[in-house]
Each structure stands twice: as structure tokens, then as C-alpha cells.
Structure 1
């Protein structure tokens, strides 16, 4: 589908749909007159106005009028490319696509059509918007699928089993602590956030509700190797397209959501790990200001995991835990934080005991091995999707560069 569908909000508020004003008035004479022609195919002022209004309802982050113009020009080029190879979308597939799109707003297609109709957007505008995405997908797969599929050697490199390569992902995160008193509210908020498609909207939520060190950066994490993520999270991440958000993930004392911003192949070596060595020092008070201040003081005064033994001296043995475990045996929330750390670095994002204990988590070291955990099929699909996206973008740029586009 067009790019805005990647960024559109699933949780499309019905109140917003019904409250928006009708499209700007156009004279009857100019309404259906040509605004743009693309290789002789006409785009009318009416289509421009309808698409812009539809994009407003979807919460498009760019200027709706400019984006409508760009999209409709691209739509004509996509339909022309489809006509050249005889590609089309049947009524049943089109209806299924409309139902799938409407489901992102928790609606059936007829309900969605009724709601946008109250804001002055026609069913035809919605149908055309969905149809072009479906037909373009078929065009891209027909032209490029064979060359986009990775070889077995390329999959080996992506898995790290061929001695080189791997996959890395660029994620944004939201971690919301759970307490006995906030569970219903946190879970409801997480379900709302899971519907987000916009990078900016997800970052705004992260700044407001996330408890991690990335909060001030809108939840944006640095690139992380796929094989450094918890095994349970890898397949979820590989199934996402940029802008997609995972379903809410249950962690000890927290709910987590991750948004995929990008995925790329690693050209250098990408080791996986047979064991991760880490330390957890527990501070009473949970995420209170006093506990966080104590945690930060310990971070400032120590450099290594061994230094924490001095901090814990004279206290209960339970106050400090040192583990060296295979990645698959590490709790997901701990593994996620460790993936962001270099040896000696520390996180204060986690809690235990129903949120009453703050966890000072420090990465001590990693023991490398060949990666055997990621699914070959998942990696192959992710590489194929990434390459198809790049080939499609290049092909569309070529079509536009060769097109005769006249603005009236």
C-alpha cells in the first residue's frame, strides 16, 4: 500500500472522523476538470481534494495537499505499470483489502466507509486507495521477486553461520512498569499504542509513559544486532514492516512494545553468544526518586561488575545476583536491556517484586558462538521484503523520471 498506510494510526478515532469538516468548496465547473495529467491519464481537482481529505482522516504527518498530489501521480504510474503486464485486482481481493484496512481502525469496511462518508470522503476514494496498493504489490512481485530472494549463502551470512554478515534492526521501545494498582490502565494504554503506525506518534508516547533510558530520545534505540535480542522477540521483529509495532509483550513487572524503524544486513562479522555474564543489584523503593538517586550514585562510583561486590558487602546475599546464562535462559526484559549495553555499562530501567525493587543491571561480558537460533525462513522473508521495497522504490523513481507529467 502507499507509504502513508505504513504510518497511519490503526486506532483511528471515530470522533475525529465525524468532526472533521467537509472538503473545501470547488466550483461545479472546476470540480472534475483536469488538474494534472500523467502520460495522458487525468487527475481531477476532485480526486486531489478527496485524497487530501482522506489523508487528513488518517493522520498523515505530511502536508495533506502535497502528499495527495505526490500519491496520485504515483498511483497513475503504478496503474500504468500494472496495465503493461496485465495485472489487476479482482472484486474479492479488493474487498478483502478494504476489510483489512478498515480492521486497523477496529471497523468493518462498511462501517469505515460510513464514517469517512460523514467527513465527505467517498467510497470510491477509499477503494482506489486500497486498489493501487494491491496492484502495485503484484507488479513488484512479478518483476522483482525472483531476484529479491536471497541465496542459501546469503541466508547463512545473515544468520552469522557463514562467518560473515548478519541482520541488525533499528527499534524504538516503550516499557511501562506494572504495579498492583495500575495494571488495567497500563494494559489498556499498551493496546492503544500497539495500533500506532507513525514514528512521531510512537515517540511522543515513549516520552510520556516509558520508563527506559531511551525515554528522552522518544524511545529510539541505536542499531542492535538481531542475534542480541531475546530469542522470543526475534521472530516478532522480523514479521514487522517499518512503522509497525509489536503487540504488547508481557515482561516481569512491565509491558513492552517495540516499533521497527529499519532493518539492514550487516556486512561485517555478526557473532552470537553462548553465554551472557551480568549482575543485578536490587535497591528498595522501586522507581521512586530516592531509589533512582541511589542507583545513579552506585553507577557513578563503580565501573565493573566486581565493584558491585563491595557495594553489597555486609548486606543480605539476595541483594546482588551474578549470572552467566545462555541467551535463551535470560528473562526477556533483562535480555532486552543487556542488548543495549556494552560490557561495564548499566541500566536502571527494570524493577522486581511488583515494582518495589529497582534493578541496577550491569553487563559483565559476552561469550560468542555461531548463531543457530534465528529461523532461516524468517530471515529469508525479511531479506526478500527489504530488497523488494528497495527495488520497488527504484522502479517507481524510474517510471516518474520517464513520465510526461503536466500540471494544469
Structure 2
């Protein structure tokens, strides 16, 4: 069975801006970027954009594709200069491991990618660069990233301190059914450039499909831990007034503006699982279907009540699911982060906008807190230090290289 990871890929590809694919055939394989003696072609950029669409990577896929390909060239050159090679067997294992995250074999994933216009070589090159860089980092920094006993003690002490961050956001969720996907993404990219709360609020009132549209998209204070994992680093990278790059979600595009951020003295408990129910209604966001949804919302208090609503209908109209927070689909996670148990949302659609999703949060299961493990803390400190060193090294490689945009 093809996983949810790939069932949403087609929608993501439709939303991702693929303008460069209109290049004439003779220019498709022309150099687009030169890094010293190395080049990146238009074809490689188009392929990486498509691959990022399948992965539903956050951010502007055109910019991200260029950045990743430049970094891949620098990573592979650093590996060659250190005498590091990645064998075909290692690449094959890496492809299997990556595909396994979507409960697929590499062969199955390659077949699905091919159906979506992504060549097997694009997947292979992506994995090869990652494996080569991992060996570069391990060889160069593993010996200098050990944590001292004093650092581990401090980290263990901080683990019980109970501090966190909360953020004040505004949102815009714009429906983007396939025929309108390209135009909606272009509009989202224009809105993303604003730093004015008033302009963002006006756009939310005009375009957003969520219940917050009337208030200019304004959300209440939220703990950073309550946001979907894909959104947390994007929000933390913003300054007040700035807007995230457009996020492609099924049949919609999402934008978030940071209005304020502050540290709190108490960290909300983490959750091991989130249970929700989704009732699917034909008719999309038509006035009639939204009115039917409002009538249902008025007479249900818990997820169990939805069984009575769905009685006598096909089994697939009601989906009740329990998942770890990190496995929630991005759009569902965004909506659930705003809800308490028993509350509902009608912001989402499926089937190209033709099916309205009445989403209800059933409940959240708190994670069992265990005493911090000293070895796990040491490993975390070591990995964090290696990550920081590797980022600095990559920045140095980029600064030392002569990079030219050719088109």
C-alpha cells in the first residue's frame, strides 16, 4: 500500500511553482549555476524542485532546490579532497533506508517518483550527497565534539528547569485546488514579502479560508511545542513582522506571520499521541456543504458522536486516527494545534477541493516522562556540536567558492 507520504505528493507538485519547466528543450541542459569548475544545469534544478514537491519540503522550492544543489556540489568536492568515496552498495542501502521512512522499498519509491516526473538519478544523487557529507563530518569532527562531564551535568540540571517559548502568530490558509494552484502560490509568494501586520491581516480577511479570517488571521498565544514539527523551525527563524515562505499542503497554501515571541517559565507537557476524527463531506467549500457542517458541529460534543452522523453511509466517510505528533499530516497538524478536545474545524478539503473535511480533536495522550539518561544527554550534546561544526564548515566552503548564477 502506498503511504500517506506519497498519496499527497501529486497535490504538492501541483502547488509547487514549476515555471522553469517551460524552458525550450535546447536550454534544459544548459548550465544555470557555476561553482568554480562545477556546473548545475536547468534540468537538475527542475528535477530537484519536483523531488522537493514530492517530499512536501517547506519553503520556496525554486530557491531551496538551487541552495541544495550548490551545497551538494560543495559537499561532494570536500569528500573527494578527503579521499572519501561512497560505494554503490552504500548508496543502495541509503536509498532503501530513505524509502523505508514512507514504508516503501527503494524500487517502489523510484516507481512512484517516476510517475510524478522525478528521475531515479535525482533520488540517487540526493542520497549520495547526504552520505558523502556524513562521512566528511564524521571524519573531520567526531574527535573534537565530545562533551565534558561538567557540560553533561549542566544539561541534566537544565532538563528539569521547565522553560519554553510561546509565539503569537497570524495565519492565512488559502484554498488551492489544482486549476488554481499556480495562481494561489504566486499570490502567497507576494504576501510572504510583507512585514506589515496590517497588510497581512487585510490579506487574511480577503483570502483565508479559516475561521480566523475575520480577525485578520490572528491566533492566540501558542507554546512552540504545540505547533507541528515542520512549522517550529520556520517560526523560530522569524523576527516579529516577518512571514514564513509559503507552505504547500493538500489543496491549500499556508502562510504564518510572527507577531510576538517570548520565553515562558513552564514547558507544556509533550504528547505521545494525538487522536482525531475526520468526517468527509462531498461538495467542498460550497455554501450548502458548509451549512451542513455547521449544523453537524452544533449537535456533536465528542468524536463518538460522529459515528451517529456517519451511520448508514460508506465506511470511508469517517476516519478516526491516533498518531504520534510527528506523524500527523502537516495540514491536519496545523488545524489540531488550534483545537482543544471536542472542538472542530472545517478549514481543510480533499479530492482537489471537492470534499470538505470536518475535523475534530478527540484528545491528546501525554508522554510518559522518564529521568534523563546521562549517555543520551552526552550523545545529544555531541550531535548538536557536530551539527554546529558541520554548518560552519559548509558556510566556509561556500564563502571560499566562486558561485555565479547564469540565469
Quote the offset at 1:163 in angstroms. Answer: 6.0
Q: Which residue is 1:248 aligned to?
A: 246
Question: Following superposition of structure 1 onto structure 2, how do residues 297-312 of structure 1 map, counting pairs within 5 Å?
Answer: 297-312=295-310
Query: Corresponding residue for 1:47?
Result: none
When normalised by structure 2's length, the TM-score is 0.52
In the alignment, which residue of structure 2 is the partner of 1:217?
A: 215
Match for residue 196 of structure 1?
Answer: 194
Cα distance in 1 for partners of 2:184, 2:271 equals 33
Q: 1:156 to 1:207 in 2, by over 3 A?
A: farther
Between the aligned partners of 1:153 and 1:248, the Cα distance in structure 2 is 41
For 1:317 and 1:181, locate their aligned partners in 2 and report how far apart those are by CA, in whole Å. Answer: 29
Matches within 5 A, 1:177-326: 177-326=175-324
Whether contact under 8 Å (2:271, 2:325) holds in the other structure is: yes
Relative distance call for 1:175 and 1:156 in structure 2 (3 A) is: farther
Aligned counterparts of 1:273 and 1:330: Cα–Cα separation in 2: 12
Q: TM-score, normalised by structure 1?
A: 0.52
Q: Which runs of structure 2 are paired with 1:85-234 in the superposition (5 Å)?
A: 161-162=159-160, 164-234=162-232
Unaligned runs of 5+ in 1: 1-150, 382-408
1:354 paired residue number: 352
Partner of 2:185, secondary structure, is helix
**Distance across 2 between alignment mates of 1:212 and 1:202:** 14
Taking the aligned partners of 1:175 and 1:285, their CA distance within structure 2 comes to 19
Residues 178 and 251, structure 2, Cα contact 8 Å, conserved in 1:
no
RMSD across aligned positions (CA):
2.6
Task: Give secondary structure in 2 for the equivalent of 1:335.
Answer: helix
Q: In the alignment, is the contact (CA less than 8 A) between 1:157 and 1:166 conserved in 2?
A: no
Q: Aligned equivalents of 1:176 and 1:165: distance in 2?
A: 34
Q: CA deviation at 1:152?
A: 9.1
Contact persistence 1:157–1:165 (CA under 8 A) = no
**What does 1:52-91 align with in structure 2 at a 5 Å threshold?**
none
Partner of 1:340: 338
Change (3 A) 1:154 1:304: farther
Whether the 8 Å contact between 2:280 and 2:358 is mirrored in structure 1 is: yes
Shift of 1:168: 1.1
CA distance in 2, matches of 1:346, 1:247: 27
DSSP 3-state at the match of 1:232: coil
State the shift of 1:269 in Å.
Answer: 3.8
Provide the C-alpha distance between the structure 1 equivalents of 2:206 and 2:156, rounded to a whole number of angstroms. 41
Segments ≥4 residues shifted beyond 4 Å: 151-158
> Aligned pair in 2 of structure 1 residues 156, 200: CA closer, same or farther (>3 Å)?
farther
CA deviation vs aligned residue, 1:279-338 (integer Å, no higher than 9, x gap): 000111111001100110000011100000010011000000001100111011100110
Q: Report the count of equivalent residues.
A: 225
Counterpart CA distance in 2 for 1:157 and 1:322 is 40
Q: CA deviation at 1:224?
A: 1.0
Distance in 2 separating the partners of 1:249 and 1:163 = 34
Aligned to 1:57: none
Aligned twin of 1:37: none
1:257, 1:329 → 2: CA distance?
21
Aligned-pair distance for 1:153? Answer: 9.6
Q: Structure 2: any 5+ residue segments left out of the alignment? A: 1-150, 373-379, 389-407
Kept in 1, the 8 Å contact 2:302–2:362? The answer is yes
Does the aligned pair in 2 maintain the 1:191–1:247 contact within 8 Å? yes
CA shift, 1:190, in A, is 0.4
1:155, distance to aligned residue in structure 2 (A): 8.4
